[in-house]
């Protein structure tokens, strides 16, 4: 007697089962569907007459009281941890040889500018305008052309959630210097005239800039690389 295998309709039912149990991301659904399907087919080897839904319910119980949520939450956590580590790794490269030279040069230039101008808004406002300009360009032109991945399915992937987050992140960055300027209105910022604080602020601004450069320009390329490696069959462009 030939082995009983799941039909395409039953595979679709398993995907729907995952969606009903709050797994909406296709990359995780693939793994869970295959697991459930494999275990059902193994059980059919000993008894082909066992109903599909009966075995499915029993197999789902093996995932425990939390069902798929522990697996889903852990995967999200691991992805975030992975990319956070990459983010810090690439940012810290700007504080190691040879990029540390660039960091030092930019910090010194910014510090000297703070010392030269009477009103520090002449530095902060242009910085804000330049950053905003880059972010609008990133959001509307660069991201859709260079970082966005078009897939052959409209199913959402967990890996691509991270990329989408970066696009929105670019618009949030514009607001940071704005809030900084608002705060400056209410505090006595004469401390900027203090050399030590000028150095600290210059160091912070340069660090902030590199951090977001890595977050928006370097990391999305890594994510795209990982997605291409794992799911080449889904990529259109």
Partner 1 sequence: MGNNQLYKGSLSTIILKLLGEKGRMYGYQITQEVKAISEGEFLITEGALYPMLHKLEAKGLLTVEIEMTGNRMRKYYSITKNGKKEVANLMTEMESYIRNMQVLLNPNIDLA
Please report whether residue 11 would count as binding partner 1 according to CB under 8 A.
Answer: yes
CB of 23 or CB of 192, closer to partner 1: 23
Q: Closest approach of Cβ 103 to partner 1, in Å?
A: 27
Q: How far apart are CA 212 and CA 217, in angstroms?
A: 8
**CA neighbor of 69 nearest in space, from 20, 16, 35, 10:** 20
Q: Return the SS3 of 151.
A: strand
CA angle, 77 as apex, 75 and 79 as ends, to 5°? 70
CB of 93 or CB of 120, closer to partner 1: 93
Q: Closest approach of Cβ 34 to partner 1, in Å?
A: 5
CB of 13 or CB of 120, closer to partner 1: 13
37-45, 118-126, 136-144, 163-171 -> range binding partner 1 (CB under 8 A)? 37-45
For residue 39, the tally of other CB atoms under 10 A from its CB is: 16
Q: How far apart are CA 35 and CA 20, in angstroms?
A: 17
6-14, 97-105, 181-189, 207-215 -> range binding partner 1 (CB under 8 A)? 6-14
Residues 67-96 that bind partner 1 (CB under 8 A): 70-71, 74-75, 78-79, 81-82
Spacing of C-alpha 139 from chain mean position: 15
* Distance in Å from the first CA to the final CA of the chain: 45
Please report whether residue 57 would count as binding partner 1 according to CB under 8 A.
Answer: no
Q: How far apart are CA 60 and CA 63, in angstroms?
A: 6
Number of chain positions touching partner 1 (CB under 8 A):
30
Cα torsion through 192, 197, 202, 208, rounded to 10:
-110
CB of 18 or CB of 131, closer to partner 1: 18
Please report whether residue 225 would count as binding partner 1 according to CB under 8 A.
Answer: no
| Chain residues in the site for partner 1 (CB under 8 A) | 5-8, 11, 30-35, 37-39, 42, 62-64, 66, 70-71, 74-75, 78-79, 81-82, 230-231, 233
């Amino acid at each position: 007697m030939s082995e009983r295998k799941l039909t395409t309709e039953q595979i679709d039912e398993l995907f729907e089962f995952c969606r009903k149990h709050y797994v909406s991301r296709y990359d995780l659904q693939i793994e869970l569907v295959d697991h459930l399907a494999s275990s059902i087919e193994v059980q059919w080897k000993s008894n082909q007459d066992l109903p599909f839904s009966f075995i499915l319910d029993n197999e789902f119980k093996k995932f425990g009281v939390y069902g798929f949520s522990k697996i889903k939450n852990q995967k999200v956590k691991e992805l975030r941890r992975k990319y956070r580590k990459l983010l810090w790794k690439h940012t810290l490269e700007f504080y190691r040889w040879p990029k540390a030279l660039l960091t030092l040069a930019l910090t010194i230039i910014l510090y000297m500018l703070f010392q030269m101008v009477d009103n520090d808004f002449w530095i902060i406002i242009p910085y804000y305008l330049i950053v905003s300009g880059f972010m609008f360009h990133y959001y509307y032109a660069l991201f859709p052309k260079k970082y966005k991945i078009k897939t052959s399915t409209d199913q959402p992937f967990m890996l691509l959630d991270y990329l989408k987050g970066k696009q929105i992140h670019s618009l949030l960055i514009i607001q940071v210097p704005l809030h900084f300027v608002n705060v400056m209105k209410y505090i006595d910022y004469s401390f900027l005239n203090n050399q030590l604080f000028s150095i600290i602020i210059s160091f912070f601004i340069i660090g902030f800039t590199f951090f977001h450069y890595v977050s928006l320009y370097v990391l999305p390329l890594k994510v795209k690389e990982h997605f291409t490696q794992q799911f080449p069959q889904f990529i259109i462009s």
